[in-house]
A and B are shown apart, each in its own frame.
Chain A
Amino acid sequence: MLIELMRYVKGYVKFKTENGIAERLINEINKEGLSVFHIRKADGGIVGYIGYFDYERLLAIANRLNIDVLKLYERGMTPFVLRYKHRFGLFAGILIFVMLLSLSQYFIWEINVKGNEKTPTDIILSELSELGIEKMSFIPKIDFRQKREEALVKLPQLSWMTMNRIGCKLEVIVNERVFSPKIDEKTPCDIVAGKTGIIRYIEVYNGTKKIKENCPVVEGDLIVASRYETKNGKVMYVHSDAKIIAEVEFDKLISVDVNELSKEYTGETKTIYGVNLFGFKIPFGVIPSAESADIEAISYPIHLFKKELPFGILKFNIRPFDRKAEDKVKTEAKEIIRNAFLQYEATELKDAVILKREEQTSFKNNIMAVKVKYLCEENIAKKVTLDESELNFESENFIGNG
């Protein structure tokens, strides 16, 4: 296969001898060191193939031996290039095409959004567009990591987002925030503490208050009960409703891998193919070290009769990078963490009053971590439905909300 490919690249001529002693020609060709192949006996002579540049020497030998040689055809890349060497337009066209093709890989051609169910794709695309990510955006100018953080701040309904660049296509995978299911107002429920803290204020709209103000509670403690007894001893259940404002203290840690962040991609992408033989990965080229490039090895195993064989083709996608200055990276990491906290506070703590906020920064093993100790006042009421066993009552025992 490889030899055939090399022969095609070098070019070859199919020839036929018409008279004379073919064996003498074969031996003379061999003595001269010319490479001939696929020699067959034909009517009155032989038919064979010879390298494109050796054909003239073959003619000289044949002339010396008084053998007529007929050129049947010539094939291969070299004859093709030589045939069209004066057609500059053709080569210029190919060159321009290749240049345009390589230039086109620096632009986003398509954006696909995946994972969204409630948030319309158009809204996500429109926010991304405002951040400078849209079709035909110049890829090397975009810091996808930074843009992802900014997009998450702008789209609080999303809890997570990743942007994968696949060639000229951008794949945006999102995860929507899941809110706890709303309990139907006709369903009896208790109110428990959603977080551990000290209760500062209770406003009960329905149900029986079980804990007083300024009492500490642990997550899950019952605060407003659904069950109550009437004067005549009948057990009734209501759909409890209350506002429980408590002082809660908790930590939030956000960290960034500075080693990853320091990579400044050159914009080049290189593909090297190789083979996977019984688990040994053999590339057909030089693979740079992991310190200077991101290397992704994709394996394409060969299947025979639906069974995977222990060998296959390997594709190494290589994205070289330079390292940014350490100070710059640290500043960038701080900025990313700051944005992440802003997003966290804008979404998770949007209904809370932050009373105190203590920030602690650490840098260890190339990981920059910021721990923030929050003291907040927030509504910790959490409605929980009653167990089936506990709720063993007749339907008339339920009194609706209010």
Chain B
Amino acid sequence: MNKENRSFKDNFTNGIISPFSEVTLIGNKTLLVEGASSVLNYNDDSIKLKLVDLTIIIYGVSLCISYLNQDSLEINGKISRIEYV
């Protein structure tokens, strides 16, 4: 992404995108994370994510990253606990 575009994106999104990450849990099967920066640790029963402003660990069974892109990711499985570190 060139400088001009980045500047435009930054200007455009500053007003509408929260500076914090958003974590949405749907039942205990789906977890949507907006603003995830990286995956620190990945196992069947736990996934540790580095978000913009904090780190979280998701515990559960048969955890699977359904999709992953630069802004968000979705985790499916039987989620039992979320820990904010």
Residues of A within 8 A of B (CB): 22-23, 26-27, 29-31, 33, 35-41, 46, 48
The reply on B80 being an interface residue by CB < 8 A is no
Q: Which residues of chain A are near B44, meaning CB under 8 Å?
A: 40-41
- Checking A26, A33, A37, A38 against B39 with a beta-carbon cut-off of 8 angstroms, the contacting residue is A26
Are B68's CB and A26's CB within 8 A? yes
Are B39's CB and A46's CB within 8 A? no
- Checking A36, A40, A41 against B68 with a beta-carbon cut-off of 8 angstroms, the contacting residue is A36
The reply on B11 being an interface residue by CB < 8 A is no
The reply on B13 being an interface residue by CB < 8 A is no
Are B39's CB and A27's CB within 8 A? yes
Q: Which residues of chain B are near A46, meaning CB under 8 Å?
A: 42
Are B42's CB and A26's CB within 8 A? yes
Residues of B within 8 A of A (CB): 38-44, 63-70
Nearest CB of A to B30, in Å: 14
The 7 closest A-B pairs by CB, nearest first: A39-B65, A27-B38, A37-B67, A41-B44, A26-B39, A40-B64, A23-B39
Q: Which residues of chain A are near B64, meaning CB under 8 Å?
A: 38-40
**Docked CA distance A27–B41 (Å):** 11
Q: Which residues of chain B are near A27, meaning CB under 8 Å?
A: 38-39
**Docked CA distance A48–B65 (Å):** 9
**Docked CA distance A38–B64 (Å):** 6
Q: Which residues of chain B are near A37, meaning CB under 8 Å?
A: 65-68
Are B41's CB and A23's CB within 8 A? yes
| Residue ID in chain A nearest B75 by CB atoms | A39
Are B69's CB and A35's CB within 8 A? yes
Contact sample, A vs B, 18 pairs, CB 8 Å cutoff = A23-B40, A23-B42, A26-B39, A26-B68, A30-B39, A30-B69, A30-B70, A33-B69, A36-B67, A36-B68, A37-B66, A37-B68, A38-B65, A38-B66, A41-B43, A41-B44, A41-B63, A48-B65
Nearest CB of B to A187, in Å: 81
Are A33's CB and B42's CB within 8 A? no
Contacts A39-B65, A41-B63 known; list 11 others, CB within 8 Å.
A23-B39, A23-B41, A26-B68, A30-B68, A31-B70, A35-B69, A36-B65, A37-B67, A38-B64, A41-B43, A48-B65
Q: Which residues of chain A are near B63, meaning CB under 8 Å?
A: 41
- Checking A22, A31, A35, A36 against B42 with a beta-carbon cut-off of 8 angstroms, the contacting residue is A22
Nearest CB of A to B41, in Å: 6
**Docked CA distance A30–B68 (Å):** 7
Q: Which residues of chain A are near B65, meaning CB under 8 Å?
A: 26, 36-39, 48
**Docked CA distance A46–B70 (Å):** 19
| Residue ID in chain A nearest B1 by CB atoms | A33
| Residue ID in chain A nearest B42 by CB atoms | A23
Are A35's CB and B67's CB within 8 A? yes
Are B70's CB and A33's CB within 8 A? yes
| Residue ID in chain B nearest A22 by CB atoms | B42
